[in-house]
């Protein structure tokens, strides 16, 4: 068993799409990573699962900001989720998981709180 | 110093309105106020009297409460008839006592006229004026089966409706040859009669009742001058009103020959301490039998008693709008064209049951009067033209023609001058409304509370709302057209900014003309604008984050996160080979297959990563994208046309295919649908489309701005017998004008309805080139047509773009675990239910 908190490489900079999201598969489930070039830090990671439909689609939503808060809009039913806290703006009882993510050279590293993660990305 | 005393005789609508005005004025402090009412109930809304039969109580109709009177220190004496006025000693006398006054106000209203017919005292005969009258009628209707109203005027018809609502078989007996002779002309009256008879009320015109005697089958029998008769159980007289001037006569105030207390512009009678307002007052030889003029008199008198020497009553508009037995009737101004030189424009549709007449001035510039029967939707606009002397448009007939025949839409609130009277009951002008808004009223309710507009007869409600909305909008309140928090512009503004400044990216636009970073509202809207202006591929790096998921992946996302694929099938024509390819691809990827409502095939259930592979196969077989995901042209539906059909007069399939190829890929504010039918049988349902084309012997008829969907709208006929070229250039112009000027997510139907000037204006712009932009619009369309590319073809050929279609970028083989399936009717469908 490895240590509980691991910063694993999930993809590279080339996989990212400016101002949009991509999805990666992790042992903690699917995670959406957003690259917002005009923000510092520029990377955000939240669960890819849309809590309202149960589908894995959040990375495919439109990003933006509402009253300064960086958000993504679910592509299915259009609720907004904070990229920082995962909070749903339309329903205070709903929140999606957030992850810490950082850029290490060309590699995108995601912090996964689990023991048995094996990086799949090259 | 002790107060002076003001006595008001009559506690009806106008008397009460006067009190409301007066107690709120400075002069009130100097007066003790005493009010006498003959009726036992406190002033109530007589205009809505009939609602008493449909459940309203006196409390519902009451204009105030007893508390309001005591709170305002008004000494109210109900059920106390004033029997005499002593002008010398300035006293009034009732059966209970004598009271001194300094100023006296007569607001005694009027009483129903009962013609001197033998037998009219029969206990089964009534009038229709007070709550007590209605109680008596109701009591008498018990055990009765038939009721007759004598008088086919406005009130008579209302009474007939009341009898009907009591379950009686209702008849109207009218002395004149037609109904509502005061407000309507022969044609209008005839149509009203037909409609009312259809509703089960029998009308007997040109009948003079000579006697009321005991009936044989019913309680009563009415004998008529022409030796006919009618049996009935009860009779309601509604043969006009007479001013209640008994007191005035007995104390020798000046009265009119045919009744009414003569007043001057200050509402003062021949005795300077006695005033008269409402239906009892005769001003300039006129009695006003409506509530609004009475209210104006009340306001005037209150101002006079406050020392305002400028205040004057100068007459009132007698236009009326009513629903009689559910039939709309409207009469405005000089409805009978009595003005010398007046001309008439009439529109009559016996089929639909609509009659409209405009009376216009000799020079054709002003509206003098109007009559409407069957449909009052034109009333507000006509009334504003008449009251405010607004110049008529070049084609005044458009004001009363149905929209499909070039009728003009309602007069926009902006066209009204500040002096335009919006609510005649409370004399509220457009200027008053603006003032209230400027003083802080920021919604309809607040404006109503402040100005009292639309709290009288309610006839002005719709007009008030448009004015308030438009004024609030002008001040940027609530009804803001801002796209979102990032752009303080409408879509149309942004379109112009992009076009004029040659802006090619969202980033530049928001940096220069917006704030923040954008959102799911403005990004797709701007993407659509950029696409219309520059027609670049939607998946270029700059544009890709702007798109809704459906555009990003050029497919429609389904409830389980998979996508549907809709290849274009222009005009719905497809070869067997191509059909087979669709079948093969669908089988290979296990896609649910369905024929859509748009004459093509939808393949459902592809995963993100399958999309490019599937499209590669479809493109190889000659398919291209169907834009089922885009705010752009969907399909051009066709019927089989003259190539096969025995009725077809043109090649509708050929034209549909041509149109589909021409306009495919055009990005627009909302989706666009078209159809082409080969003859008037209209098998392609072209009249429900944004652009509809129907073949004629000589070419094509073009219909525009139809809509199916949530709020269906029939398309309007726009041009007839067009050649192929004429058709194309006209559609080019309509579409480009739409694309440039519509709001975000506004279909052509709503766009046209909201356009100032409506269909007529659009015709001018497109057919007459009134803005001189016709060429430019056509050129812009030509540019877009020439830069068309199949987005899917470009995408599958570009490895960078294909990268976007990985479900999990780090695990290409991973299947999304939430996508579970079941089988239904031999095909796959998602198992997942929305949570
Ligand atoms: C597939 C289809 C139903 C079918 O199985 O037949 C369909 C399916 C959808 N329609 Fe439709 N509409 C389809 C024909 C229609 C029609 C009939 C027609 O076009 O002749 C109408 C009414 C005509 C009209 O639009 O005027 C229609 C009126 C709508 C509306 C309401 C539009 C309106 O103005 O009120 C929406 C909602 C919207 O666009 O905002 C809508 C939206 C949708 C969406 C896109 C909803 C969504 O966002 O998921 C559906 C997804 C399609 C998909 O995944 O591929 N669909 N939809 C039809 C596709 C036609 C095609 O080949 O492109
Ligand atoms: C069924 C019906 C429908 C109507 N519909 C409309 C409509 O749609 N639009 C419209 O504008 N108008 C309508 N009207 C007309 C409207 O109701 C009158 O214009 C309005 O009520 C006139 O107000 P007023 O105060 O002058 O008279 P009233 O409301 O009649 O009040 C006069 C009061 O004075 C009392 N009175 C009289 N003499 C004495 C006395 N000597 N001592 C004490 N009290 C006395 C009377 O009993 C009465 O209560 C309708 C009327 C009726 C009956
Ligand atoms: S619209 Fe006319 S031409 Fe077309 S299929 Fe119907 S009947 Fe035939
Ligand atoms: S016109 Fe009667 S309420 Fe406004």
- The pLDDT of residue B477 is 60
Q: Is the pLDDT of residue B729 over 90?
A: yes
Using DSSP's 3-state secondary structure scheme, residue B347 falls into: strand
Provide the 10 A C-beta neighbour count for residue B335.
Answer: 24
Predicted confidence at residue B475, as pLDDT, reads 76
**Ligand with minimal distance to B633 CA:** 1
Among B450, B483, B488, B456, which residue's Cα sits nearest to residue B468? B450
Under the banding of pLDDT at 50, 70 and 90, the label for residue B480 is low
Question: To the nearest whole percent, how much of chain B has pLDDT over 70?
Answer: 97
DSSP B323: E
Reply yes or no on whether the pLDDT at B835 is more than 50: no
B594 lines ligand 1 (CB under 6 A): yes
Report how far Cα B552 is from the mean position of its chain's Cα atoms. 40
Confirm whether B4-110+243-305 and B563-786 share one CATH topology. Answer: no
What confidence score (pLDDT) does residue B649 get? 94
For residue B696, the tally of other CB atoms under 10 A from its CB is: 14
How near does any CA of chain A get to the CA of B548, in Å? 6
Q: Which of A52, A78, A120 has the CB atom closest to B811's CB atom?
A: A120
Distance B14 CA to ligand 4 centre (A): 14
Q: Do A66 and B834 touch (CB under 8 A)?
A: no
Q: Is B200 in the pocket of ligand 4 (CB under 6 A)?
A: no
- The residue nearest atom 62 of ligand 1, judged by CA position, is B598
| Residue A47 lies inside a defined structural domain of this protein | yes
Distance from C-alpha of B393 to C-alpha of B35, rounded to nearest angstrom:
50
Run of H or E residues at B34: strand B31-36
Q: Is B577 exposed, middle or buried (0-12, 13-18, 19+ CB in 10 A)?
A: exposed
Instruction: Convert the pLDDT of each residue in B638-656 to its tens digit.
Output: 999 999 999 999 999 999 9
Whether B78 shows a pLDDT value over 80: the answer reads yes
Is the distance from the beta carbon of residue B425 to the nearest atom of ligand 4 less than 6 Å? yes
pLDDT in tens, B166-205: 999 999 999 988 899 888 999 999 999 999 998 889 999 9
Which run of H or E residues covers position B216?
none
DSSP B255: B
Asked if residue A7 is part of any domain, the answer here is: yes
- Domain B125-239 adopts which CATH fold? FAD/NAD(P)-binding domain (3.50.50)
- In angstroms, the CA B139 to CA A61 distance is 69
B168 contacts B147 by C-beta, under 8 angstroms: yes
Largest pairwise CA distance in chain B? 109
The pLDDT of A64-68, averaged and rounded, is 88
Tell me the pLDDT of chain B averaged across its residues.
90
Tokens of B652: 């509708």
pLDDT surpassing 60 at residue B1: no
Residue B485 confidence class, pLDDT cut points 50, 70, 90: confident
Whether the predicted pLDDT of B458 surpasses 80: no
pLDDT of residue B760 exceeding 90, the answer is no
* Nearest residue in chain B measured CA to CA from A20: B545
pLDDT at A5 over 80: no
Q: Domain B563-786: give its CATH architecture.
A: 2-Layer Sandwich (3.30)
**B575 compared with B317, residue with greater pLDDT:** B575
The CATH number that applies at residue A72 is 2.102.10.10
Residue A28: pLDDT over 60: yes
Local confidence band at A4 (pLDDT 50, 70, 90 cut-offs) = low
Residue B834's pLDDT is what?
Answer: 44
Residue length, chain A?
122
Our CA-based measurement puts residue B697 at a distance from the nearest CA of chain A, in whole angstroms, of 48
B816 touches chain A (CB under 8 A): yes
Whether A121 is covered by a domain: the verdict is no
Mean pLDDT, to the nearest integer, of B394-412? Answer: 71
**Most confident range, picked from B190-194, B224-228, B276-280, B430-434:** B276-280
Assess whether pLDDT exceeds 60 at residue A105. yes
Q: Which residues of A touch B (CB under 8 A)?
A: 10-11, 15, 17-20, 22-25, 30, 36, 38, 49, 51-57, 60-68, 70-71, 73, 75-76, 78, 80, 119-121
Whether B409 shows a pLDDT value over 60: the answer reads: no
Domains of chain B, by residue range, sit at 4-110+243-305, 125-239, 491-547, 563-786
Whether the CB of B811 is below 8 Å from some CB of chain A: the reply is yes
Name the one residue in this structure whose structure tokens are 């049988």.
B681
Domain that holds residue A92: 2-116
Q: What value of ipTM does the predicted structure carry?
A: 0.68
CB contact under 8 A, B520 and A23: no
The residue with greater pLDDT, B393 or B73, is: B73
**Ligand nearest to the Cα of B423, by number:** 4
Burial class (CB in 10 A: 0-12, 13-18, 19+), B466: middle
Picking from B483, B511, B520 by the largest number of A CB atoms within 10 A of its own CB, the best residue to mutate is B520
Chain A residues inside the 8 Å CB shell of B557: 57, 60, 75-76
Tell me what pLDDT residue B146 has.
96
Q: Is residue A122 part of a domain?
A: no
Q: Which residues of B carry a binding-site annotation for [4Fe-4S] cluster? A: 639, 645, 679, 683
Which residues have a Cβ under 8 Å from the Cβ of B266 and sit 6 or more positions away?
A: B275, B300, B301, B304, B311, B312, B313
Does residue B814 belong to the interface with chain A, where contact is any CB pair within 8 Å? yes
Provide, as residue numbers in chain B, all residues whose Cβ is less than 8 Å from the Cβ of A62: 519-520, 523-524, 545-549
Alpha carbons B120 and B401: distance in angstroms, whole number: 46
- For residue range B88-122, list pLDDT tens digits in order: 999 999 999 999 999 999 999 999 999 999 999 99
**C-beta neighbour count of B661 within 10 angstroms:** 17
Q: For chain A, where are the E strands, in sequence order?
A: 5-12, 20-26, 29-35, 43-47, 62-66, 69-73, 80-82, 98-99, 101-104, 107-113
pLDDT exceeds 60 at position B438? yes
The CATH classification number of B4-110+243-305 equals 3.50.50.60
pTM above threshold 0.80: no
B778-808 exposure pattern, b = at least 16 Cβ within 10 A, e = fewer: bebbeebbeeeebbbbebbeeeebbebbbbb
Q: Does ligand 1 lie within 6 Å of residue B708's CB atom?
A: yes
* The ligand 4 atom nearest the CA atom of B461: 4
Residue B704 has a pLDDT of 96
* B748: three-class secondary structure by DSSP: helix
Q: What is the pLDDT of residue A117?
A: 46
Q: Which of A17, A49, A22 is nearest to A36 (CA)?
A: A17
Helix (H) or strand (E) holding B181: none
pLDDT value, residue B37: 97
* A99 to chain B, closest Cα gap in Å: 17
Highest mean pLDDT among B39-48, B401-410, B433-442, B750-759: B39-48
How many separate domains does chain A show?
1
In A, which residues are within 8 Å of B545 by CB distance? 17-20, 62-63
């Amino acid at each position: 068993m490895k240590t509980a908190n691991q910063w694993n490489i999930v993809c590279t900079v080339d996989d990212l799409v400016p101002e949009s999201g991509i999805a990666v598969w992790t042992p903690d489930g699917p995670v959406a990573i957003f690259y917002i070039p005009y923000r510092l830090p520029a990377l955000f990671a939240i669960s890819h699962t849309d809590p309202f439909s149960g589908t894995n689609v959040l990375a495919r939503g439109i990003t933006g900001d509402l009253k300064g808060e960086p958000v993504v809009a679910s592509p299915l039913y259009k609720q907004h989720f904070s990229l920082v806290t995962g909070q749903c703006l339309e329903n205070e009882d709903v929140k999606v998981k957030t992850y810490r993510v950082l850029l290490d050279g060309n590699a995108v590293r995601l912090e996964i709180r689990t023991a048995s993660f094996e990086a799949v990305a090259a | 110093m002790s107060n002076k005393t003001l006595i008001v005789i009559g506690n009806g609508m106008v008397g009460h309105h006067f009190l409301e005005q007066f107690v709120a004025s400075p002069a009130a402090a100097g007066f003790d106020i005493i009010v006498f009412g003959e009726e036992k109930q406190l002033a109530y809304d007589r205009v809505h009297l009939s609602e008493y039969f449909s459940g309203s109580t006196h409390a519902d109709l009451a204009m105030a409460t007893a508390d309001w009177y005591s709170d305002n220190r008004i000494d109210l004496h109900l059920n106390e008839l004033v029997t005499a006025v002593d002008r010398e000693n300035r006293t009034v006398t009732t059966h209970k006592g004598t009271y001194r006054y300094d100023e006296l106000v007569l607001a005694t209203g009027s009483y129903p006229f009962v013609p001197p017919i033998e037998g009219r005292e029969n206990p089964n005969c009534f009038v229709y004026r007070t709550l007590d009258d209605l109680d008596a009628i109701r009591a008498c209707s018990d055990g009765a089966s038939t009721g007759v109203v004598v008088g086919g005027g406005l009130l008579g018809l209302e009474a007939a409706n009341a009898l009907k609502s009591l379950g009686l078989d209702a008849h109207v007996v009218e002395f004149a040859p037609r109904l509502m002779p005061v407000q309507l002309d022969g044609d209008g009256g005839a149509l009203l009669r037909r409609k009312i008879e259809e509703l089960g009320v029998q009308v007997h015109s040109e009948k003079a009742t000579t006697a009321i005697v005991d009936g044989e089958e019913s309680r009563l029998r009415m004998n008529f001058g022409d030796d006919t008769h009618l049996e009935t159980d009860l009779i309601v007289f509604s043969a006009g009103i007479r001013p209640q001037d008994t007191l005035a006569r007995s104390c020798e105030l000046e009265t009119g020959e045919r009744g009414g207390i003569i007043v001057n512009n200050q509402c003062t009678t021949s005795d300077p301490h006695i005033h008269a307002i409402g239906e009892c007052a005769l001003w300039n030889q006129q009695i006003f039998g409506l509530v609004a003029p009475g209210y104006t008199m009340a306001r005037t008198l209150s101002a006079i008693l406050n020392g305002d020497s400028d205040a004057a009553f100068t007459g009132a508009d007698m236009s009326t709008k009513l629903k009689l037995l559910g039939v709309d009737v409207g009469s405005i101004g000089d409805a009978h064209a009595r003005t010398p030189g007046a001309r008439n424009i009439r529109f009559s549709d016996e089929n639909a049951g609509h009659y409209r007449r405009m009376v216009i001035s000799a020079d054709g510039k002003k509206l003098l009067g109007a009559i409407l029967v069957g449909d009052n939707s034109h009333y507000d606009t006509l009334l504003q033209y008449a009251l405010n002397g607004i110049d008529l448009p070049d084609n005044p007939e458009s004001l009363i023609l149905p929209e499909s025949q070039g009728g003009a839409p309602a007069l926009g609130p902006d066209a009204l001058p500040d002096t335009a009277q919006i609510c005649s009951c409370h004399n509220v002008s457009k200027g008053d409304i603006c003032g209230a808004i400027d003083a802080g009223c920021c919604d309809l309710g607040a404006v109503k509370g402040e100005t009292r507009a639309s709290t009288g007869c309610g006839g002005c409600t719709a007009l008030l709302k448009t004015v308030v909305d438009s004024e609030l909008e002008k001040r940027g309140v609530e009804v803001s057209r801002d796209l979102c928090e990032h752009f303080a512009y409408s879509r149309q503004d942004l379109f112009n900014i992009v076009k004029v400044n040659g802006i090619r990216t969202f980033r530049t636009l928001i940096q220069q003309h917006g704030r923040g970073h954008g959102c799911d509202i403005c990004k797709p809207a701007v993407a659509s604008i950029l696409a219309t202006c520059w027609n670049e591929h939607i998946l270029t790096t700059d544009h890709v984050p702007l798109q809704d998921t459906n555009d990003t992946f050029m497919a429609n996302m389904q409830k389980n996160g998979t996508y549907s694929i809709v290849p274009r099938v222009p005009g719905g024509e497809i070869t067997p080979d191509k059909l087979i390819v669709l079948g093969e691809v669908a089988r290979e990827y296990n896609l649910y297959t369905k024929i859509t409502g748009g004459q093509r095939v939808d393949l459902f259930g592809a995963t993100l990563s399958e999309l490019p592979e599937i499209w590669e196969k479809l493109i190889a077989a000659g398919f291209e994208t169907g834009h089922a995901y885009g705010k752009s042209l969907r399909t051009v539906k066709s019927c089989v046309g003259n190539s096969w059909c025995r009725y077809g007069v043109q090649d509708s399939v050929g034209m549909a295919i041509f149109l589909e190829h021409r306009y495919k890929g055009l990005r627009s504010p909302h989706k666009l649908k078209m159809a082409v039918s080969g003859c008037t049988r209209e098998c392609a349902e072209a009249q429900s489309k944004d652009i509809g084309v129907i073949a004629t012997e000589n070419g094509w008829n073009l219909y525009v701005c139809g809509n199916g969907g949530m709020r269906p709208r029939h398309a309007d006929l726009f041009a007839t017998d067009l050649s192929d070229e004429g058709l194309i250039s006209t559609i080019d112009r309509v579409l480009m004008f739409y694309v440039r000027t519509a709001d975000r997510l506004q279909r052509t139907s709503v766009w046209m309805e909201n356009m100032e000037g409506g269909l007529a204006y659009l015709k001018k712009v497109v057919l007459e080139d009134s803005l001189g932009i016709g060429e430019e619009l056509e050129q812009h369309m030509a540019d877009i047509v020439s830069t068309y590319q199949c987005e899917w073809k470009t995408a599958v050929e570009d490895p960078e773009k294909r990268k976007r279609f990985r479900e999990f970028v780090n695990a290409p083989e991973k299947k999304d675990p939430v996508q579970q399936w079941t089988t239904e009717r031999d095909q796959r469908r998602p198992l997942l239910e929305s949570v």
